[in-house]
Amino acid sequence: MHHLYRWAKKDFVLFTSFVLALLSCIIVPPSMAYIQYIDLHTLLLLFCLMAVVEGLHRAEVFDHIAHYFLRHMHTERHLVMLLVLLCFVSSMCITNDVALITFVPFAIMLLRNADLTSRITSTVALMTIAANMGSMLTPVGNPQNLYLYRLSGYSLSQFMGIML
């Protein structure tokens, strides 16, 4: 029992998720229908994206980009603004989730290399806000916008003007 308590205290979020998953199984008993809930296509796409990001990381592509940014950014404010804008602009084209999955690990590595670990939390929070704001502007920024764009019949410029 003491081991379970230590694990729950160490990995509180994982423990809480596990308990809530068990409760949901009690409320909705497991069945073969559970298999239909799994969207393998989306999971495989996300896995491939994460594999590509990890491959770029191991090939030190992000290190080279990080060193370039660090050489050209003269203040930590400029560096944080660049990371936030990177998420904002990219989320308009690749959705907010993909922008965050791609650029948050990069930002953490970059801020650690710059010895700015105290700025990681606030920078990631700003990147999250920026990714959500940027994704709202275009039809491909998030699935809801794609649905609304198709349903509305507006031109791209009209839609983006309304969203802006």
What pLDDT was estimated at residue 9?
Answer: 80
Q: What is the pLDDT along the chain (164 residues), one digit of tens a residue?
A: 778 788 778 888 888 888 998 998 888 888 888 788 787 877 787 678 778 777 877 898 877 887 788 788 888 899 999 999 999 998 988 888 888 988 898 899 889 988 999 999 999 999 999 999 999 888 888 878 877 888 888 898 998 888 88
Same domain flag for 96 and 139: yes
Same domain flag for 91 and 129: yes
Number of domains in the chain: 2
What pLDDT was estimated at residue 34?
Answer: 77
What pLDDT was estimated at residue 101?
Answer: 85
List of residues 6+ apart from 53 with CB closer than 8 A: 101, 102, 105
Same domain flag for 30 and 68: no
In which domain, by residue range, is 113 found? 39-163
What pLDDT was estimated at residue 56?
Answer: 78
Same domain flag for 26 and 47: no
Model-wide pTM > 0.75: no
